[in-house]
Amino acid sequence: MQTFDFDLFVIGGGSGGVRAARMSAQRGARVGLAEFAAMGGTCVNVGCIPKKLYSYAAHYADSFEESHGFGWVGKAPVFDWDLLKANRAREISRLNGIYVQLLESAGVKIINGWARLLDAHTVEVDGQKFTAKNILVATGGTATVPDVPGREHVVTSDHMFDLSPFPRRLLVVGGGYIACEFASIFNGLGSQVTQVHRRDKLLTGFDDDVRRFVAAEMSKTGVQLKLGAEIAAIHKTGEGLQVELMGGGERIEVDTVLYATGRIPNASGVGLEAAGVAVNAAGAIQVDRHYQTSVPSIYALGDVTARIQLTPVALGEAMVVVDQLFGPAAGKKPRNMSYEFVPTAVFTHPNIGTVGYSEADAREKFGKVTVFRADFKALKHTLSGSTERTLMKLLVEDATDRVVGLHMVGPDAGEIVQGFAVAMKAGATKAIFDSTIGIHPTVAEEFVTMREPVSAST
Ligand code: FAD
């Protein structure tokens, strides 16, 4: 029988790779993991975590302002960008260390360096060869910048956390969640932000009411939205950058241009061709429902497979792979991954929280759907002086009374929607929502007190 150095070799120490390596080792497997950068991947280093920390920072501006209505008098403190950067960097280093420690204490051998496949069972990391019975490719994705004149002057989300100096004037290109979040965050931190998006609405794929509502709220906070606009060129000037828009030649002077227009799978330079691993037209590794690629001994998950690109999804996929390769945990069944009712948040100001179908998708999938919607000023803002409004929306499938879509734009929407996601996963009906007692006075209680539909089923 052929012997291997490892039972499993993981390429990539990000959300999915670390989870798969650690859990496999805990099941007794001999596991190696190669990572060429800081441990933790996109989420820990340049994604979810630093972004959320900066989003917290940005909210203080509003909080100081709003506190006056509650009797707090005096000037707001000034913002120190370098201090925030230093504190973030310290926290991220601490997390990097925890990831290494978790892997090592589970018995995973960490190999620092760039890994590539040589064949179905062999990986090379900086000249060293390792064999493994199975290999998991969890190499994530990377931001791309289109071929626009002046692209050498722009930055991607990876650079936003350590910009120096602080961009007083920022132009964000893109309308996806990453673009919207950075627009909100830097606006909150004090930049003058312009966001340019080629479509007429932000956040393709989200519910249309949410898209309209969040654009209006972001505009109120001061983000200058230019929808249906495209960048013609970016020119370097003595004072910064001059961004030229297509048609009409409008020019906008800024300090920094962030392109957040898309991400591609990290599938090149990994030796996929050498091993015979198939990728689709978009360059993502093709996998079956067990995350097995076209080569039976090679698995892939997370952003490199370009399904739903979220950390908890990569973690869920990792657990399916672990169960598939090494069996489920004692007394448990092997896990499956469902991509239906995946909740998510967008950390715009105000936040978006969403689970289930948009109204358009629900109508397409379920036919007759009843819509409940509330748009109101939260109690807090009766004194805060803020004009911020909150949107809450429920979509109910007529045939079953099941709640199939739940959307919110408002403070802490992600925190609120997470709990409702459990109920929806369990198949909660509108009747169950109606019979649930609200928590008063909260914003969240609105989800269990919406009685009058705004549209009867169509
Ligand atoms: P990654 O976490 O990207 O890990 C891949 C790892 O592989 C990297 O560490 C990389 O260095 C390494 N690697 C690549 N190639 C090689 C190689 N050949 N050899 C060795 N190592 C290699 N998701 C959320 O759920 N919530 C959020 O709020 C959120 N915010 C985000 C904000 C931003 C700005 C971005 C960019 C992403 C955000 N995401 C968020 C998405 C989330 O970060 C990803 O979905 C998640 O990190 C994917 O995990 P992964 O394991 O597939 O890849």
The CB of 265 under 6 Å from ligand 1? The reply is no
- Range 14-23 burial, b when 16+ CB lie within 10 A, else e: bbbbbbbbbb
CB 390 within 8 A of CB 343: no
What whole-number distance in Å separates Cα of residue 13 and Cα of residue 20? Answer: 10
Dihedral of alpha carbons 103, 109, 112, 113, sign: negative
Which protein residue's CA is at the shortest distance from atom 38 of ligand 1? 47
The residue to which tokens 């009374």 are assigned: 401
CB 59 within 8 A of CB 35: no
The residue to which tokens 């036919």 are assigned: 367
The answer to whether 6-143+265-326 and 151-260 have equal CATH topology is yes
- Range 264-303 burial, b when 16+ CB lie within 10 A, else e: bbbbeebbbeebebebeeeebbebeeebbbebeebbbbbb
CB 6 within 8 A of CB 325: no
Backbone dihedral angles phi then psi of residue 457, each to the nearest 5 degrees = -60, 145
Distance from the alpha carbon of residue 72 to the mean position of ligand 1, in angstroms: 41
Distance from the alpha carbon of residue 177 to the mean position of ligand 1, in angstroms: 15
What whole-number distance in Å separates Cα of residue 267 and Cα of residue 280? Answer: 11
Atom of ligand 1 nearest to the CA of 115: 19
Atom of ligand 1 nearest to the CA of 113: 20
Q: Which CATH superfamily is domain 344-453 in?
A: FAD/NAD-linked reductase, C-terminal dimerisation domain (3.30.390.30)
Active-site residue, 349 included: no
Question: Fold for domain 6-143+265-326?
Answer: FAD/NAD(P)-binding domain (3.50.50)
Count of other CB atoms within 10 angstroms of residue 51: 20
CB 211 within 8 A of CB 219: no
pLDDT, position 166: 98
Residue 385: C-alpha distances to residues 63, 154, 231 (Å): 11, 37, 36
Name the residue of 139, 261, 301, 355 to mutate for ligand 1: max ligand atoms within 8 A of Cβ: 139
pLDDT, position 2: 77
Dihedral of alpha carbons 296, 302, 303, 306, sign: positive
Q: Considering 153, 290, 407, 440, which one is annotated as catalytic? A: 440
Distance from the alpha carbon of residue 15 to the mean position of ligand 1, in angstroms: 6
Smallest Cα–Cα separation from 329: which of 6, 41, 27?
A: 27
Smallest Cα–Cα separation from 297: which of 127, 33, 117?
A: 117
CATH number of 151-260: 3.50.50.60
Distance from the alpha carbon of residue 282 to the mean position of ligand 1, in angstroms: 18
The CB of 312 under 6 Å from ligand 1? The reply is yes
Cis omega before residue 441 (within 30°)? yes
pLDDT, position 53: 98
Which protein residue's CA is at the shortest distance from atom 14 of ligand 1? 139
Pairing of strands 141-143, 369-376: unpaired
Which protein residue's CA is at the shortest distance from atom 3 of ligand 1? 140
Q: What is the pTM of this model?
A: 0.97
The CB of 140 under 6 Å from ligand 1? The reply is yes
The full DSSP string for 363-402 is HHHHSSEEEEEEEE--TTHHHH-----EEEEEEEETTT-B
Pairing of strands 192-197, 169-173: parallel
What whole-number distance in Å separates Cα of residue 403 and Cα of residue 381? Answer: 29
The CB of 267 under 6 Å from ligand 1? The reply is no
pLDDT, position 295: 98
pLDDT, position 75: 87
Name the residue of 35, 311, 321, 417 to mutate for ligand 1: max ligand atoms within 8 A of Cβ: 311
What whole-number distance in Å separates Cα of residue 22 and Cα of residue 39? Answer: 13
pLDDT, position 206: 98
What whole-number distance in Å separates Cα of residue 370 and Cα of residue 192? Answer: 40
Total count of residues recorded for the chain:
458
Which protein residue's CA is at the shortest distance from atom 30 of ligand 1? 48
126: three-class secondary structure by DSSP: coil
The letter for the amino acid at 108 is: V
pLDDT, position 248: 79
Which protein residue's CA is at the shortest distance from atom 24 of ligand 1? 310
Token pair listed for 137: 């490719």
Per-residue pLDDT in tens (0 to 9) along the chain, 458 residues: 679 999 999 999 999 999 999 999 999 999 999 999 999 999 999 999 999 999 999 999 999 999 999 999 998 899 999 999 999 999 999 999 999 999 999 999 999 999 999 999 999 999 999 999 999 999 999 999 999 999 999 999 999 999 999 999 999 999 999 999 999 999 999 999 999 999 999 999 999 999 999 999 999 999 999 999 999 999 999 999 999 999 877 999 999 999 999 999 999 999 999 999 999 999 999 999 999 999 999 999 999 999 999 999 999 999 999 999 999 988 999 999 999 999 999 999 999 999 999 999 999 999 999 999 999 999 999 999 999 999 999 999 999 999 999 999 999 999 999 999 999 999 999 999 999 999 999 999 999 999 999 975 55
Atom of ligand 1 nearest to the CA of 157: 34
What whole-number distance in Å separates Cα of residue 239 and Cα of residue 112? Answer: 41
Question: What's the CA dihedral at 340, 346, 350, 353 to 10 degrees?
Answer: 20
DSSP H helices in 331-449:
359-366, 381-384, 413-425, 430-435
Name the residue of 9, 43, 163 to mutate for ligand 1: max ligand atoms within 8 A of Cβ: 43
What are the boundaries of each domain within the chain? 6-143+265-326, 151-260, 344-453
